[in-house]
Chains A and B, each alone.
Chain A
Amino acid sequence: MYDQWQQAMKEDTQPRGISHAGRSLLPVIAGIWVVLIGGAFTALLGYHNIPGQRSDHGMVWPINHSIKLDTQRPNLMVFIHPQCPCSVATLNELARIQAVCGVRLNTQVIFYSPTEMQWEDTSKVRQALAIPNVHITNDADGQLAQQFGALTSGHTMLYSGDGRRIFSGGITPTRGHEGDNLGRKSIVQYVLDGETDCDRTNVFGCPILVTPSEVVINSRGSEHGVK
């Protein structure tokens, strides 16, 4: 590509007789332009690929009064911030999981529901309601998210019928992006085959709860899950 640009510069500057200032400025401007765009794209892609915070050290179903563990089926818990635009991709991916797994899963979508905020009827809630065999739960002030350690919208956890945590992470490849990803693949694999190669992926989304410093930001977090 650089060669072509060099050739283009040569074609344009030599025979057509552009002014000396033009000849000297054009490559400089083009170079600056490429560098700026490269930097901007890198920043954008970095933003898309920086995972959200998490605090999911517990490996078993936590005790709570809101959601009961289904001992007959795997339990899939998806924590969503109802205003997070990135979570549209998570819900779309959830729909794809549900399309494959259906009633084999006990799927719960837990929407953060702070008091004094009327967030029970957002586009994300309506999108979740449209997915078959999904239970919707309002998480008042994020208590459930706190209990499960889900600090980022889109955080998904899979528990077996006996309460063991099988998987924890996001089901999108990057922030707000759809497409094949390790999270969706791991969940579907477990439901269908009873085992999975990956138990942890990065979560991409808006923070549901801004906490703790104990959350470790690790861009290569998915590697932790690889057995």
Chain B
Amino acid sequence: MALSEDRPINDRARELLEEHRDSIYRRTDHMFAWLMLFQWIAGIGIALWVSPYSWAGRTQYIHPHIWSALVVGGLICSLPILLARYYPGKAITRQTIAVGQALASALLIHLMGGRIEAHFHIFGSLAFLAFYRDWKVLVTASIVVAVDHLVRGLLWPESLYGISLFGWHRSLEHVGWIVFEDVFLIYSTWISCREMTVIANRRAEMEKMQAEVEREVTERTREIELQRLVLQESHERLERQTIELRKAIESSEGANRAKSAFLANMSHEIRTPLTAILGFADVLLETGDIYKAPVERIDAIETIRRNGSHLISLINDLLDFSKIEAGKFQVENLPCSLHRLIADIRQLMQVRAEEKKLNINVEYSGPIPEMILTDPTRLRQILMNLLSNAIKFTHEGNVNMNVGLVGKAPNRRIQIDVTDTGIGISEEMRGKLFQPFTQADGSMSRRFGGTGLGLTISKRFAELLGGDLTILETSHTGTTFRLTIDPGPLHNVTFQEPETTYSAPDLEKSKPSDTKNALRELKILLVEDGPDNQRLISFLLKKAGAEVDMAENGELGYQKATAASESGSPFDVILMDMQMPIMDGYTASTKLRADGYNGPIIALTAHAMAEDRNRCIEAGCTDYTTKPVDRAKLIELIRFHAEAASV
């Protein structure tokens, strides 16, 4: 029985010692069973070899040694072998074996003619008996040897001592040698038993420790199992929450998608009529003897144009803000000349500033990189917004821009401070300024216009460009906004000194001198489903000198373009509306490109989001422009692609 924790260690040690002893006894019993069997056979062999026959003159007889070896030898080993077989490990067995082994020694000595060498069998037998590690068997065997000597010494003294008289001292001498060996063997047995006791004690201690360790392991395992169950429960709860969250996210994404789709559709639906409204307002202003018209009519047309432009601006801001809120707004990372960009913006805004007799000053505090990596469109949008606000809220004085490079690598930033001498911002509104749909007060919108989204979007753009937009200071004498952006890596970038800054080209020079006849001799296919836009755009194109053919949807456009190409007079440019019934512009463009059509296709769409451009290009369009139509830009785009195609 293994040791339990509450069992005395000495009991277990005793039990282990007994087990060990029993094992030794059994093993030695079996060893002696085989040894005695071997001795029996050997005795018979010796008798046959040494004294096979006894003789009387000429007559021979089987020698009595043969019978002695066979019968006495068999008798000697029979009981020990039987006991070793059926009662191994018992005291009676090893005591019988001790007696048998001593008698076997005596028999073998007789069979071998009493030679002195044969007597060593006794010493060998005692050594073998010491395997039992039981001193009692040594005593038993020694007693048998002593009795044999004493009895034989008394009966036949000469056979033992060479003289005819029995002498105690001779017997004691013989027995003395046996005792001499016994002393060593018994001592060795005692030592061995002591070691066995020590081993048993250690093993019992080890078992006790093992039992303690097992108990500890069991407890720990139970604790771990409990922890595992708790963890499993937490995991399952977390999984449930994850599923719920995923559903919520999916639901939210679905709502976002719906919102985006709604905004895109709304943008399209609003831009399409605005295209006609603004376009025809322009037409009204430019056609006929407009100078003869009453001032009220011209004011009315101007009002239509201004409000239309405001509406376009509002839609653009709403689209941008919506995309930013949805986290889907992606900025580009393009090389950009900061000098040129600022010069362009300054020149662009200077016109509006001059209307209020303001001046825009640009200062550079030290050299700035010739080229930076940023999204120039968004940077332009931010700066335009800042300048626009500065001009809007400044009645006299000027607007200053201070541009510089601040910080140390790798945290260098472009810093642009826009300072005006305007009315300032109250402390109350300062914290709310970058929140959407917030303006200084309700009257602002009425007084100055604007959607209330400009600064919000600008700040988000600044963050997307790796920087920030903050109010540096504000008072009733003016306000300073600080814009910082990440210029990207500046290794191997040359720096420009302020005096070498780029001088923006004159807008007047860059504008096409005249749109009249700009598209002369060009054959254009206009694929457009809206009748108002058909009339407006075809009017603009025709006025620019182009020959315009019309198609009401993508399928008709595809057929007309294919037919023209097959007849050998393909269109110079196809203007493709993308949102049409029957077949949309994407499908029509894709089919045309699949048929090998190489001419320029310019997408004309009310979808003004960034991914819409990519979608158009992927569908096979050469370029992209949005509604409402900017007449000059459209004509310039058509002319550019027509010339590029002809080259």
Contact = CB atoms under 8 A, between A and B. Distances in A.
Interface string A174-193: 10111111100100000000
B103 interface: yes
Given A5-B95, A180-B162, A36 B75 contact: yes
Nearest to A176: B113
A182 B113 contact: no
A83 B78 CA distance: 33
B163 interface: yes
Contacts of A157: none
Interface in A63-87: 81, 83-86
A34 B162 CA distance: 28
B76 interface: yes
Interface string B44-78: 00000011111111101001110010011001101
Contacts of B55: 81, 83-84, 153, 206-207
A209 B59 CA distance: 10
A12 B113 contact: no
Contacts of A176: 51, 113-114
Interface string A36-61: 11001100110111000000000000
A41 B164 contact: no
B159 A40 contact: no
Contact of A85 (B63, B79, B164): B63
Interface of A: 1, 4-5, 7-9, 11-12, 16, 18, 26, 29-30, 33-34, 36-37, 40-41, 44-45, 47-49, 81, 83-86, 88-89, 112, 114, 117, 142, 153, 173-174, 176-182, 185, 206-210, 222-223, 226
Given A173-B114, A177-B110, 16 more contacts: A1-B143, A5-B92, A8-B95, A11-B90, A12-B93, A18-B87, A30-B96, A33-B75, A41-B103, A41-B107, A49-B156, A81-B55, A81-B57, A85-B54, A206-B56, A207-B56
B516 interface: no
B90 A16 contact: yes
Contacts of A112: 57
A181 B90 contact: no
Nearest to B58: A114
Given A1-B143, A40-B72, A114-B58, A85 B52 contact: yes
Interface residues of B, number: 54
Contact of B54 (A36, A88, A206, A209): A206
Given A84-B55, A142-B57, A40 B113 contact: no
Given A29-B79, A84-B55, A182 B163 contact: yes
A84 B52 CA distance: 10
B91 A12 contact: yes
Contacts of A30: 79, 92, 96
B103 A177 contact: no
B158 A11 contact: no
21 contacts: A1-B99, A4-B136, A4-B139, A5-B95, A8-B95, A12-B90, A16-B90, A37-B75, A40-B75, A45-B159, A48-B159, A85-B54, A112-B57, A114-B58, A117-B58, A177-B114, A178-B113, A179-B114, A181-B158, A206-B56, A222-B158
A33 to B, nearest CB: 5
A35 to B, nearest CB: 11
Interface string B82-120: 000001001111111001000100110010011110000
Contacts of B159: 45, 48-49, 173-174, 177, 179
Contacts, number: 146
Nearest to A152: B56
Given A182-B162, A182-B163, A174 B92 contact: no
Interface of B: 50-58, 60, 63-65, 68, 71-72, 75-76, 78-79, 87, 90-96, 99, 103, 106-107, 110, 113-116, 136, 139-140, 143-144, 147-148, 152, 155-156, 158-164
Q: Which of B64, B90, B94, B152 has the most CB of A within 10 A?
A: B90
Contacts of B91: 7-9, 11-12
Contacts of B71: 40
Contacts of A48: 110, 156, 159
B64 A47 contact: yes
A44 B103 contact: no
Given A30-B92, A84-B55, A45 B155 contact: yes
B121 to A, nearest CB: 15
A44 B163 contact: no
A176 B95 CA distance: 32
A37 B72 contact: yes
A37 B158 contact: no
Contacts of B139: 4
A40 B368 CA distance: 129
Contact of A89 (B113, B152, B161): B113
Contacts of A40: 68, 71-72, 75
Contacts of B51: 85-86, 176
Nearest to A184: B162
Contact of B163 (A4, A33, A180): A180
Given A30-B79, A40-B71, A174-B114, A114 B57 contact: yes
Contacts of B152: 45
A85 B75 contact: no
Nearest to A209: B57
Given A8-B91, A180-B163, A44 B68 contact: yes
| Residue of B79, B93, B152, B158 most packed against chain A (CB within 10 A) | B158
A214 to B, nearest CB: 17
A61 B36 CA distance: 52
Nearest to B142: A1
Which 3 residue pairs spanning A and B have beta carbons closest together?
A180-B162, A85-B51, A177-B114
A41 B162 contact: no
B27 to A, nearest CB: 18
Contacts of A142: 57
B179 to A, nearest CB: 15
A85 B103 contact: no
A182 to B, nearest CB: 6
A41 B72 contact: yes
A181 B68 CA distance: 24
Nearest to B93: A12
B140 A44 contact: no
A173 B158 contact: yes
